Structure formats: structure tokens, C-alpha cells
Amino acid sequence: MKDSTIVTPFFKASWLIAQKDLIAEFRSREMMSTMAVFATLSLLIFSFALDLDRVARQDAISGVVWVTVAFATILGLNRSMAMEREQGGLDAMLTASISRVSIFLGKLVGNFLFSISVGVLLLALAVVLYNLPGLSLWLLVLLPLGTLGLTTIGTLLATMTAQTRARDSLLPIVMLPMALPVVLSVVKATTAALGNAPLVDWAPWIEMLVLVDLVYLIACYAMYGFVLEE
């Protein structure tokens, strides 16, 4: 007897999951507002703390921006998985006739869009608060690459920690060490880009960032199905 179960195509299922997250956030505006307020306040605090030393402020700006993006991303990931858990969304997706990996891709797309929106906001605020003369076009490359690395590993780890009791505090503990290669690479590249350094001097950092993103994408793609089964 043939199996009559209809399986939703991979990319269609992924897009529907991402669309669900985007529509839910558009209606509630809960997660983005929390991430944006946290990121803005963090950047303001760093701005006041570094105001007395202009040299240190210029040197630290890229680190400040990306550390803030990382923590805002963790905040958003925790909230996203909490909503799935409270509303039974994850259980519903697991019982649906879709590939487990399509859930990963759908959640990744939504998380990426939320986090990169916060990153754009932070860069705009940094121009004002840190008196930057302008933004290098290379930041249009670095921002998506850095955000992709953070949200890729974050989506996997947020799913792993979602069912634990200490999920809110556990995700930062497990994610920050794993995100270190991304943060290190993108901070070094952003610092060089803001300083108008020759591309040849910091191109290896871009190459490392791309490599780390690819490794994380492949590893998370391969592991996500097993994570959901646990």
C-alpha cells in the first residue's frame, strides 16, 4: 500500500514558517521592540562610558556594535523559541508533513531578518553617537555575513535549549563560545573597514568569516533533524 501522505516542498515549507514568524511579529511587535530597545540602550551606555577617551571610543566601536548585536540576537532567539513553546508551534511543525530541516531554514530566515534589522539600526545610531564621518560600503557585506553566522548557530542552540528549565540563562552560556569565531572575524574586518585600511590587509578576516558561516550552515543543517528528535 502506498503512503498517501503529502509532503510540503522543502523551500515552500521553509518560507511558510518564516512568513508565520514575520506575521506574528508584525502583529505583536514584541520581539523586535525588545531587541531594539536593548540594543539602543546598550549603545548609549557604551557611548557615555567611552566619551572621555575619544581614541578608545574609535577603536572600540566595532566591538561595541557587534557584541550588542550578538546579545540582541540571543534575546530575540530566546523570545522566539519561548513563543513557539507557549503556543505549541514547534509541536505543530513536528507533526506536519514537512522536512525537519525546512523548520531550521524557516526559523533561520526569520531570525536573520530580525537580527539584521537591529544591526542596521545600530549602525545608524553609531554614526550619530560616535561621530563617524560615514560608513564604508564594505559594511553592507559584513553586516549580513556576521548576522548570518550568529543566527545560524543561534537557531540550532536555541532549539536545543528550548526544553530545558534554565533555557533563558543557558543559551548565552552555550552560544557565546560558539559564536566567538564569527564575532572575532567580523569585529576585525569592521574595524579595518571603518578605518579605511587597505583591503589586502584585512581580506583574510572576510575569508575566515565566510568559511565559518559555511561550516555553521552545513553543520547545523545536518544536525537540526537530530536535535528536534531529542
Q: Let me know: does 80 contact 104? Beta carbons within 8 Å.
A: no
Task: Determine the pLDDT at residue 94.
Answer: 67
Residue-level pLDDT at 70: 94
Domain membership of residue 5 (yes or no) is no
Using alpha carbons, select from 164, 9, 159, 174 the residue that is nearest to residue 84.
159
Higher pLDDT, 135 or 171: 171
**Residue 145 in grid coordinates:** 555575513
Task: Give pLDDT, residue 151.
Answer: 95
Q: Is residue 112, in this structure, part of any structural domain at all?
A: yes
Q: Left, alpha or beta for 95 (phi > 0: left; psi -120 to 50: alpha)?
A: alpha
Predicted confidence band of residue 3 (pLDDT cuts 50, 70, 90): very low
Q: What is the pLDDT of residue 8?
A: 64
pLDDT score for 109 = 93
At residue 43, the pLDDT reads 87
Residue from 135, 133, 113 nearest 65 by CA? 135
Contact between 146 and 209 (Cβ < 8 Å): yes
Q: pLDDT at residue 209 above 50?
A: yes
Residue, of 6 and 41, whose pLDDT is higher: 41
Per-residue model confidence as pLDDT tens digits over 22-77: 888 888 888 888 899 999 998 888 877 776 566 666 668 888 899 999 999 999 89
Domain membership of residue 104 as a residue range: 10-229
Please report whether residue 4 resides in a domain.
no
Domain annotation covers residue 202: yes
What type of residue sits at position 47? S
Question: Looking at the predicted structure, is the pLDDT value of residue 4 above 70?
Answer: no
Most confident of 188-197, 207-216, 220-229: 207-216
Q: How confident is the model at residue 1 (pLDDT cuts 50, 70, 90)?
A: very low
The total domain count for the chain is 1
169 band by pLDDT with thresholds 50, 70 and 90:
confident
In a domain, 118, yes or no: yes
pTM here is 0.87
pLDDT of 127 = 81
Give the mean model confidence (pLDDT) for residues 163-169: 74
> What does the DSSP assignment read for 149-191?
HHHHHHHHHHHHHTTSTTHHHHHHHHHHHHHHHHHHHHHHHHH
Examine residue 195 and state whether it is found in any structural domain, yes or no.
yes
> Does residue 1 lie within any of the structural domains?
no
Residue 62 and residue 68: Cα distance in Å, rounded?
10
Range with the poorest average pLDDT among 82-91, 95-104, 137-146, 171-180? 82-91
Is 116 inside a domain boundary? yes
pLDDT of residue 50: 72
Q: For the chain, give the mean pLDDT.
A: 84
